[in-house]
A and B are shown apart, each in its own frame.
Chain A
Amino acid sequence: MAPLLELDQVWAGYGPMEVLRGVSLHVAQGEIVALIGANGAGKTTTLNVISNVVPVRRGAVRWEGAPSSGGSIVETVRRGIIHVPEGRRLFADMTIDENLEMGAFLREDPAGVRDDRERMFALFPRLKERREQRAGSLSGGEQQMLAIARGLMARPRLLLLDEPSLGLAPIVSQQIFRTVRALNAEQGVTVLIVEQNAHAALELAQRAYVLETGCVCMSGVSKDLRDDPRVRAAYLGE
């Protein structure tokens, strides 16, 4: 069976700059996969290619075995690929409720959307207390929770998380990671997570890819990578 998502020798970039130089990776149904690597290695660009924010120059992105690159962003959303971008990118002037509604933009089942919203409030009780407030007034951790909740409102088949712990206190990022793990275990959400905190990412994910200047330089089961001396030296600071 074809994996849920597959990148095959993908090249992409901005203007004259090639950021991805032949990235290949795959994500199977039900997995949590991490992308780790230094700044500028191409982690965010990889996610942008998957959600069609950045076009593929060479190579192919396949969703359930069928080519998915070259279309619009909205087409990937329809497939169930939900991208929670770096820096949250909430609609700051809209309320928390409205941000959640935006997450469910393509859904046609109002009752289901209402149920899911209550589920999000159960998952993140802090959001419920502030549902009428502007998203911009939330703290960083709350904003990240809202960004994830907004993504989940679309009932993703694949959730792309870009740096969910960026700028958060360690205790808050731990809570975010716990939530991601619970979503995967209890609801079967497949997750591809980009994370600078390699330690946390390798804790969370079953498998990981290490990106270096636009190429996958290492990949494997998280436990093996954690024990790899090169990874320990370069990304785990040991």
Chain B
Amino acid sequence: MPLELAEASLLLTFFNALTEGSTYALIAVGYTMVYGIVKLINFAHGEVYMVGAVTAWWLFVTPQVPLLAALLLAMAVCAALGLALDRVAYRPLRRSTRLAALITAIGMSLVLQTTVQLTFGAKFEAFPETTRARVLVDGCPARERPDPAARAVVTLGLGSQPPVAQPAGPTPDGWVPVAWTVDARTSEPGGPTPGGPPGEGAADAPTSAVLWVEAAHVRRLQGTPPALNADVLAGAGGERLKLPLKDVLIWVAAAGMMLGLHLLVQRTKVGRAMRACALDQTTAALMGVSVDRVIAYTFMIGSAMAAVAGVLYSLKVGGNISFRMGYYPGVIAFAAAVLGGIGNLKGALLGGMLLGFTKAFCATYLSSDYDFAACFSVMIGVIIFRPYGLLGRPGATRA
């Protein structure tokens, strides 16, 4: 089915929204479960997501562990990390003021960031598989170029800057480099960009990257640049929409884990104990529930889910793995948990999706400069009218 540019762009945005939403939901679940039981905002949770991605990346690249095994190991590492955070940082403060625990959480976040920075350095890394350049612009045929310059291709919103320059002539086989201003958060800054402006390597400043496109299509890029996503549009002849496999993987994983968690919480004895602890810890203990153990399970489950989010999302976007990667997803997922109704699992899913859609559609149709602002505006708007969140109830906190 040939797609018009506008349609393709809408679909891509929709896919991105689902993917971002799934990622936020997977992270938000960790915030909301812990809050539901301990009434603590675990501000180190975004860092758990980061550690998950870094761990899997390191295992995949250095000892060359197969990807699935790396993912499972990263989940195990994060579960252990969640357990350790609770045991070392939060359990000793269980009976002190909530402010003390909150400050400790922020402290743990810094400790984890710095530890990773000191261990792995401050570079941005990517899963090698994602750096293979599969470039396609505006429906032109997919071509693979093992050229590192093409790594920078990720997603460009319609509102992105037009090409800043055409730095070099076509290659002998008819490919032309085009420099774009791209959002550094979703691409790899500082990579070798022959002919383009040198990458600054700064994380937040927009940087430039070079796309290679067939000469025949260059003219069509002179105006407003189309939404690009190398993975999404790469298909036979470039005219048929192919389901973006990595996105599908994220959707399936997120849906599967959310469903699994729902069944765990609703149908199993451990889940019942979690709900009981969320409702009334003393009474749960009077039933024989070891509250500390339930809290430990909660931290472990939430952390393992954050690891999945970190690994899968990094597989998709590429070039985002660094000690700082947990900050924005952590903050957005926290906002998602709050606006969905903190303590409520379905609220975390709903909030995550809402912010994923807000962010992706804002990036495509307004400006990617304002995508976070749009997310927080939505959150503030919801909180003004429903201070307890979309699915929360006044005064109620549930797991």
Contact = CB atoms under 8 A, between A and B. Distances in A.
B11 to A, nearest CB: 40
Given A93-B398, A94-B275, A105 B280 contact: no
Contacts of A85: 282-283, 286
A41 B54 CA distance: 59
Given A74-B289, A94-B279, A102 B398 contact: no
B272 interface: yes
Given A93-B398, A94-B272, A105 B279 contact: no
Chain A: interface size category: 20 to 34
B272 A73 contact: no
A102 B275 CA distance: 10
Contact of B276 (A73, A74, A94): A94
Contacts of A77: 285-288
B366 interface: no
Contacts of B398: 93
B290 to A, nearest CB: 5
B275 A93 contact: yes
Contacts, number: 62
Interface residues of B, number: 18
A37 interface: no
Contacts of A93: 275, 279, 396, 398
B108 interface: no
A94 B276 CA distance: 8
B95 interface: no
Given A53-B282, A93-B398, A105 B288 contact: yes
Interface centre among A51, A77, A105, A106 (most CB of B within 10 A): A105
Given A91-B279, A93-B279, A154 B272 contact: no
B287 A154 contact: yes
B272 A51 contact: no
Interface string A50-63: 01010000000000
A101 B280 contact: no
Interface string B261-289: 00000000100110110011011111111
A103 interface: yes
Interface in B370-399: 396, 398
A91 B280 contact: yes
A89 B287 CA distance: 11
Contacts of A72: 285, 290
Interface string B282-323: 111111111000000000000000000000000000000000
A190 B280 CA distance: 26
Interface centre among B279, B280, B285, B288 (most CB of A within 10 A): B288
A38 to B, nearest CB: 24
A53 B282 CA distance: 8
A28 to B, nearest CB: 23
Interface string A129-150: 0000000000000000000001
Nearest to A81: B286
A73 B289 CA distance: 9
Interface centre among A51, A77, A102 (most CB of B within 10 A): A102
A91 B286 contact: no
A117 interface: no
Interface in B235-268: none
A103 B283 contact: no
Interface string B27-49: 00000000000000000000000
A51 B283 CA distance: 11
A105 B275 contact: no
Nearest to A75: B288
A228 to B, nearest CB: 34
A74 B288 contact: yes
A53 B272 contact: no
A105 B283 contact: no
A98 interface: yes
Given A89-B280, A105-B273, A51 B288 contact: no
Contacts of B289: 74, 102, 105
Contacts of B286: 51, 53, 73, 77, 82-83, 85, 89
11 contacts: A53-B285, A72-B285, A74-B285, A77-B285, A89-B280, A89-B282, A91-B283, A102-B272, A103-B287, A105-B288, A106-B288
Given A82-B286, A105-B269, 12 more contacts: A73-B286, A74-B290, A85-B286, A89-B280, A89-B282, A91-B279, A91-B283, A91-B284, A93-B275, A94-B279, A102-B287, A106-B288
Interface of B: 269, 272-273, 275-276, 279-280, 282-290, 396, 398
Nearest first, the 10 A-B pairs at minimum CB distance are A106-B288, A73-B285, A77-B288, A89-B283, A105-B288, A105-B287, A102-B287, A91-B279, A83-B286, A91-B276
